[in-house]
Amino acid sequence: MLTAAQIRMARGCLRWSVKELAEASGVSSATIRRMEEGEGVPNSLADNLGKLQRTLEAAGLEFIPENGGGAGIRFRDRKDGTRDEH
């Protein structure tokens, strides 16, 4: 599940405004703002979280689950053009 911080980080990496993410995902700007204000997994419909995740993944990001170092994001494609671990 996406966290509020991951949504904020993803928008920052893509340099997308809340409005741009709303238009791309079909989730309202007000809902996205509310999701981003919290901590942890936003209290929102799973469908809205899914829409955001699919939109952001389609834009080239992947989400890193909590693994002791904190949940995060990264670009799916590496600078060397590969996608998988080396």
Q: Is residue 86 part of a domain?
A: no
Position 85 in a domain: no
Query: What domain count does the chain have?
Result: 1
Beta strands in 1-86 (DSSP E): 61-64, 72-75
Structural tokens at position 47: 């469908």
Q: Tell me, yes or no, whether 39 lies in a domain.
A: yes
- 9 — pLDDT class (breaks 50, 70, 90): very high
Instruction: Note the pTM of the prediction, 2 decimals.
Output: 0.83
Range of the structural domain that residue 60 is part of: 4-75
Q: Which helix (H) or strand (E) holds 64?
A: strand 61-64
Q: Is residue 49 part of a domain?
A: yes
Do the Cβ atoms of 52 and 62 come closer than 8 Å? no
End-to-end, the C-alpha distance of the chain in Å comes to 26
Q: What is the pLDDT of residues 12-70, one digit of tens each?
A: 999 999 999 999 999 999 999 999 998 888 888 889 999 999 999 999 999 988 776 77
Instruction: Give the CATH number for residue 41.
Output: 1.10.260.40
User: How many angstroms separate the CA atoms of 69 and 25, rounded?
Assistant: 28
On whether residue 67 sits in a domain, the answer given is yes
